[in-house]
Amino acid sequence: MSDTTKRSVAMIGSYVPRRCGIATFTHDLSTGIAESVFGEPLSKSPHVGIIALNDHDETYAYDAQVAHELRDHVKEDYRNAADFLNHSKYEAVCIQHEYGIYGGRDGDYLLAMLDRLTKPVICTLHTVLAEPSPGQYRVLRELVDRSATVVVMAQRAVQMLVEVFNISPAKISLIHHGVPDAPFGDTEPFKRRFEVAGRPTILTFGLLGPNKGIENMIEAVARVVPEHPDLAYIVLGATHPGVRRESGESYRLGLEKLADQLRVTDNVAFHNRYVSLDDLCEYLCASDIYVTPYRSEQQIVSGTLAYAVACGCAVVSTPYWYAQEILADDRGMLVPFDDVDALVDALHTLLGDDGRRTKLRKSAYDFGRSMVWSNVAWEYAKVLDAAVKEHVSESPPPTEAKRPAMRLTLPEVRLDHLHRMSDDTGLLQHAVHATPDRRHGYSVDDVARGMVVTATRYRLFKDEKVLRLFDTYLSCIHHACNDTGRFRNFMSYERRWLEQDGSDDCQGRVLWALGCGVAHAPHSLSRELCETLFQGLAPHFDKIQPMRSLAFAILGCEYFLRRNPNDTRIADMMGRLASRIAERFDRNESADWRWFEDVVTYDNGRLSQAMIVAGMHFNDETMVARGCRVLDWLLEVQTGDGGQLSLIGNEGWLRRGQTKAEFDQQPVEVSALVSACQAAFRAGGQQRYLREMRRCFDWFLGSNDQKKPLIDFKTRGCFDGLTRDGVNANQGAESLLSWLMSLLIMHEMQTGDPTQRLG
In the chain, what are the domains? 9-178+373-400 (3.40.50.2000), 188-369 (3.40.50.2000), 416-756 (1.50.10.10)
Query: 408 pLDDT band (50/70/90 cuts)?
Result: low
pLDDT at residue 406 greater than cutoff 80? no
Please give the DSSP secondary-structure letter assigned to residue 630.
H
b/e sequence 101-115, b meaning 16+ C-beta within 10 Å: bbbbbbbbbbbbbbb
Average pLDDT over residues 214-219: 96
| CA-based max dimension of the chain | 96
| pTM of model > 0.95 | no
Q: Where are the alpha helices (DSSP H) in 589-620?
A: 605-617
Give the model confidence (pLDDT) of 22-61 as tens digits: 999 999 999 999 999 999 999 999 999 999 999 877 789 9
User: Residue 118 has what pLDDT?
Assistant: 94
Query: 186 pLDDT band (50/70/90 cuts)?
Result: confident
Query: 395 pLDDT band (50/70/90 cuts)?
Result: low
Q: Is beta strand 92-97 parallel, antiparallel or unpaired with respect to 121-125?
A: parallel
Query: 405 pLDDT band (50/70/90 cuts)?
Result: very low
User: Residue 754 has what pLDDT?
Assistant: 41
Average pLDDT over residues 171-183: 92
Cα 677 to Cα 674: distance, rounded to the nearest angstrom: 5
Poorest-confidence range of 165-169, 181-185, 575-579? Answer: 181-185
Query: 398 pLDDT band (50/70/90 cuts)?
Result: very low
Contact 695, 645 (CB under 8 A): yes
**Per-residue H/E/C for 486-522:** CECCEECCCCCECCCCCCHHHHHHHHHHHHHHHHHCC
Q: What is the mean pLDDT of the chain?
A: 92
CB burial class (10 A; 0-12, 13-18, 19+) of residue 220? buried
Average pLDDT over residues 669-691: 96
Provide the CA 140 distance to its chain's centre, in angstroms. 15
Cα 470 to Cα 109: distance, rounded to the nearest angstrom: 24
What percentage of the chain exceeds 90 in pLDDT? 80
pLDDT at residue 163 greater than cutoff 70? yes
User: Residue 399 has what pLDDT?
Assistant: 40
Poorest-confidence range of 28-42, 355-369, 401-415, 677-691? Answer: 401-415
User: Residue 755 has what pLDDT?
Assistant: 43
Query: 249 pLDDT band (50/70/90 cuts)?
Result: confident
User: Residue 202 has what pLDDT?
Assistant: 95
Give the model confidence (pLDDT) of 86-106 as tens digits: 999 999 999 999 988 998 889
Query: 182 pLDDT band (50/70/90 cuts)?
Result: confident
Query: 298 pLDDT band (50/70/90 cuts)?
Result: confident
Give the model confidence (pLDDT) of 692-730 as tens digits: 999 999 999 999 999 999 999 999 999 999 999 999 999
User: Residue 283 has what pLDDT?
Assistant: 92
Give the model confidence (pLDDT) of 53-67 as tens digits: 998 777 899 998 999
Query: 759 pLDDT band (50/70/90 cuts)?
Result: very low
**DSSP conformation letters of 144-198:** HHT-SEEEESSHHHHHHHHHTT---GGGEEE-PPPB-------SHHHHGGGT-TT
Average pLDDT over residues 588-596: 92
Residue 379, SS3 per DSSP? helix
First to last CA, the chain: 45
Average pLDDT over residues 157-180: 95
b/e sequence 75-96, b meaning 16+ C-beta within 10 Å: bebbbebbebbeebebbbbbbb
pLDDT at residue 124 greater than cutoff 90? yes
Query: 751 pLDDT band (50/70/90 cuts)?
Result: low
Average pLDDT over residues 317-336: 95
Residue 235, SS3 per DSSP? strand
Q: Which of 197, 261, 262, 196 is nearest to 234 (CA)?
A: 196
Cα 431 to Cα 420: distance, rounded to the nearest angstrom: 10
Residue 223 identity (one-letter amino acid): R
pLDDT at residue 741 greater than cutoff 80? yes
